[in-house]
């Protein structure tokens, strides 16, 4: 059975920064703060105002909710005010689901790639579902830019553009790392050597793309 502890032969000492994209960090945090702020208002501020700043949920104000007047019945959901915790739970659940969906959308874009001293490990920094920077470690031997399914027109793929995107796949965890081809994001001393190590399934002429 594999051990939970990493092998003692692995070198976790940090080496050079080979890729950094601060724009991803800025736009991702803006998206997280905007979405979290909006949903937090719905899940927190609106129920607070309804409970403490108005009488919308009291029996005396029932005629103000949706219809001019209606008789109470034990079969009505709002007769026992059950809709209050139910609606709050639904809104709070939507906050979690939306933040999770946003993390899936932005989580593949790293803000920084750092090689280990022996260049056998890659430290990937990106935002988690809470908008906080987290780090994942991959073995370089598992990383590869998998060839696309198309057989023609490769020169028209977005990755071939100067500002296109490369999709690096970890063949161990099946996770993806999406990095921009823009030279401004890369350390020029390490980009070509790094790309050569993760394009083993491509023909040599791919080198002109990076």
Instruction: Please name which of 75, 71, 43, 44 lies closest in space to residue 59, comparing C-alpha atoms.
Output: 71
User: 127 forms bridges with which residues in the sheet?
Assistant: 133
> Per-residue pLDDT for the chain (210 aa), expressed as one digit of tens each?
456 666 677 778 888 999 998 887 777 777 777 777 777 777 677 666 666 665 555 555 444 444 444 555 555 555 556 666 777 778 778 777 877 777 777 778 888 999 998 888 999 998 877 777 788 999 998 999 887 766 555 555 665 666 778 889 998 888 889 998 888 889 999 998 998 899 888 766 655 555
- For 51, the 3-state DSSP assignment is helix
What's the CA gap between 82 and 19, in Å, rounded? 52
Q: How far is CA 96 from the centre of its chain?
A: 13
The answer to pTM > 0.75 is: no
Kindly provide the b/e burial profile for residues 160-199, where b requires at least 16 CB atoms within 10 angstroms of the residue's own CB. beeeeebebbbeeeebebebbbeeebbeeebbeebbeebb
Which H helix or E strand runs over 27? helix 22-40
**Separation between Cα atoms, residue 201 and residue 146, nearest integer Å:** 7
**Which residues touch 59 (CB under 8 Å, ≥6 apart)?**
72
143-144 vs 165-170, strand pairing mode: antiparallel
Cα 109 from Cα 145, distance rounded (Å): 15
Tell the residue number behind the tokens 């908008």, with chain if given. Answer: 131
């Amino acid at each position: 059975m594999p051990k939970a502890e990493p092998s003692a032969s692995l070198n976790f000492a940090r080496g050079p920064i080979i890729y950094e994209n601060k724009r991803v960090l800025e736009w991702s945090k803006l998206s997280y703060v905007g979405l979290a702020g909006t949903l937090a208002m719905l899940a927190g501020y609106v129920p607070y105002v309804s409970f403490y700043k108005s009488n919308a949920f009291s029996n005396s104000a029932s005629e103000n909710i949706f219809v001019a007047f209606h008789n109470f019945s034990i079969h009505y959901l709002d007769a026992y005010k059950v809709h209050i915790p139910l609606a709050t739970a639904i809104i709070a659940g939507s906050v979690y689901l939306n933040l999770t969906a946003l993390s899936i959308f932005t989580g593949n874009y790293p803000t920084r790639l750092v090689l280990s001293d022996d260049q056998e490990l890659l430290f990937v920094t990106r935002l988690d579902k809470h908008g906080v920077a987290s780090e994942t470690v991959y073995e370089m031997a598992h990383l590869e830019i998998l060839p696309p399914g198309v057989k023609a027109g490769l020169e028209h793929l977005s990755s071939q553009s100067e500002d296109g995107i490369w999709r690096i796949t970890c063949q161990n965890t099946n996770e993806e790392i999406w990095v921009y081809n823009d030279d401004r994001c890369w350390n020029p001393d390490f980009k070509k050597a790094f790309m050569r190590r993760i394009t083993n399934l491509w023909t040599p002429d791919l080198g002109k793309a990076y």
